[in-house]
Amino acid sequence: MARRGAGVERVRSFPSLGEFLSSLEARGDLKRVAREVDWAYEVTEIAAREARGEGPALLFERVRGASFPLAVNVLAARRRIEWALGRTPAAVGAELEEILHALPPRGFRDLWRLRGSARRVLAMRPRQIAGGPAQRHALTDLARLPHLKLWPKDGGRFVTFGLVLTEHPVLRSRNLGIYRMHLYDDRTTGMHWQIGKGGGFHYHESEKRGAPLEVAVAVGADPATLLAAVAPLPEGIDELAFAGFLRGRPTRLARGRALAMPVPADAEFVLEGVVPPGERRDEGPFGDHFGHYSHAAPFPVFHLRAVSHRDRPIYQASVVGKPPQEDKFMGEAVQEFFRGVLRVIHPEVRDLWAYFEAGFHNLLAVAVENRFAKEAKKTALGLMGLGQLSLTKVMVLVDQEVDPRDRAAVFTALARHFDPSEDLLLIPGVPLDTLDFTSMTMNLGSKMVIDAQRKPGETPAELVRRVPDPRSFDDAVLAHRLAWGSLLAVQVRAPGRAVLERLIRRPEYAAVKLVVAVSEDVTLDDDELLLWGIFTRFDCARDVVPAATEARGAWLSCRGPLGIDATWKQGYPEPVANLPEVVAKVERWWGGPTDSA
């Protein structure tokens, strides 16, 4: 574990996926499946059931039509991430924060504090070798690999856990990111470079010059590389270097078979190819981690030139869909890594947390110490322009003593301190996560900041403990729940906006801060699914409906309660759901809780 000023305990690291899986098997946390499974939907159903209960990693030894085994849910449990790191993610974050505070060293004392991190820092420089395990054998194309089709309305099979390595065409800086790849045929795929991602920036620079971009895709990698690939590092910072830091051993690169740039040496498979300038094909639909299908849209195209693999390789895939899935555990670990780094940049931030239930980007709670009036709002604007945090849709500011991970504490603070006439900041017409469909315009939408901090001289509002049943006022309401004293969720059968406009003007609900309409498929009594059903289904500018507004010069002030129409709307993609016959089949032979409804 990391200890301030006392160095870091040396722990075992895993140079490959295979070694990590062997370790999991020795611990009894790997389940081998000898029965043949179908790459279409069946693996999805099994993986989703196991992820919900933090079950074991899964190794499918026989996948229909494939020549290689398939691993899923490798990091779909907190304990496995801690085993992979040899410590908690929070300990990694504490070490990173300590390193930054000690740089540049002001004397021997700072150097002494860094002594335990020296090995990890020295491991950050990737090592070039002549040839690695991943280059030992060749395939002619992608046909024999167990690519998955996760959901019935996906546009086809996808590489779902490809670690895509690119280099800036001029600066030669690297990016390693996870971008899905839609298989068009055995040698051509889509390349889903979302906005704000390093690989997309490299392609932009290459396309400006009219040149193809070389791409190497590692499929199956050690856990440090997997976690580094999802880390929100600043543009130009090498994810392979961060993987070396996490692992305590340098990432190894080797000469590829078809590319000028080096490729990962220790992956299970390496796909080498190019993405030409000016070429686009429709990619998708795909059931992604927002729990809905993303619409088909034009994206760049990857052309395969070579495939290589190690001895006895294992193909790795990730199942995404309605939370929780594997990305929950990876995303929460990465948050722990960088909380301390963020505090170095913003010392007023005490803690922050992005909610996996909302797809991470859709809901962020930030605990801030105000050192001057309204400093938290200044912080919010700064965070909205910082790296991956710039994709945040809803940010809730709370006082420094409030735990932002505790949803009840966050919404209780909102109940006591939020006044929409003063504490709501709406930002329309800005970049938004590519996967967010709520604005009906890809990559653009709106954001809002909710200030739920105490104000000088205020009398905190009382929590609302009970409200009249809204079904007595509106027969379009099917059910309701008063959550955390601040949010009245109503499940409706009719278009949500009309119901909201009626309810928010009723005096019986004047003390409620938020009245939210959700569709019939959203479970009200499950906190995780309630947050999912709310924050993935509304656009801040279009779907937030105040009880009243007042023009104060150019400032349009809102009066509460605020209504939020989070119902499914015409033009939205459908939520993902598995086929009933697949659910029944898996139920018969596998069992466990279903996560497909």
C-alpha torsion angle, residues 145, 146, 147, 153 (rounded to 10): 140
Sequence-ordered strand ranges (E) for 452-532? 477-483, 487-492, 514-518
CA 243 to chain CA mean position, Å: 18
Local structure of 257: helix, strand or coil: coil
Strands 514-518, 487-492: parallel, antiparallel or unpaired by DSSP?
A: parallel
Q: Which among 175, 228, 431, 254 is positioned nearest to 334, based on CA atoms?
A: 228
List of residues 6+ apart from 109 with CB closer than 8 A? none
* Amino acid sitting at position 530: L
**Residue from 222, 238, 266, 288 carrying the catalytic annotation:** 288
pLDDT in tens, the chain (597 residues): 333 333 444 557 899 999 999 999 999 999 999 999 999 999 999 999 999 999 999 999 999 999 999 999 999 999 999 999 999 999 999 999 988 877 766 666 666 667 778 888 899 999 999 999 999 999 999 999 999 999 999 999 999 999 999 999 999 999 999 999 999 999 999 999 988 889 999 999 999 999 999 999 999 999 999 999 999 888 889 999 999 999 999 999 999 999 999 999 999 999 999 999 999 999 999 999 899 999 999 999 999 999 999 999 999 999 999 999 999 999 999 999 998 889 889 999 999 999 999 999 999 999 999 999 999 999 999 999 888 888 899 999 999 999 999 999 999 999 999 999 999 999 999 988 888 888 888 889 999 999 999 999 999 999 999 999 999 999 999 999 999 999 999 999 978 999 999 999 999 999 999 999 999 999 999 999 999 999 999 999 999 999 988 888 888 889 889 999 999 999 999 999 999 999 999 999 997 654 443
Q: Which among 359, 403, 413 is positioned nearest to 529, based on CA atoms?
A: 359
Taken in order 377, 379, 384, 389, the sign of the CA dihedral is negative
Tell me the β-bridge partners of 548: 559
Taken in order 371, 484, 596, 76, the sign of the CA dihedral is positive
Quote the CA–CA distance of 520 and 516 in Å, as a whole number.
13
Q: Which among 71, 363, 361, 394 is positioned nearest to 222, based on CA atoms?
A: 71
Q: Which two tokens stand for residue 577?
A: 């759901």
- Rounded to the nearest 10 degrees, the angle between the axes of helix 78-85 and helix 326-345 is 60
> Domains of the chain (ranges plus CATH)?
17-316 (2.30.110.10), 347-451 (3.40.1670.10), 475-566 (3.40.1670.10)
* Amino acid sitting at position 307: V
Quote the CA–CA distance of 461 and 434 in Å, as a whole number.
38
Q: What is the pLDDT of residue 1?
A: 33
Quote the CA–CA distance of 322 and 521 in Å, as a whole number.
12
- Whether residue 404 contacts residue 459, with contact meaning beta carbons closer than 8 Å, is answered with no
Quote the CA–CA distance of 22 and 27 in Å, as a whole number.
9
- Does the annotation mark 351 as catalytic? no
pTM: 0.92
Three-class secondary structure assignment of 564-596:
EEECCCCCCCCECCCCHHHHHHHHHHCCCCCCC
Local structure of 225: helix, strand or coil: helix
Sequence-ordered strand ranges (E) for 27-84? 30-33, 57-60, 70-72
* Amino acid sitting at position 111: L
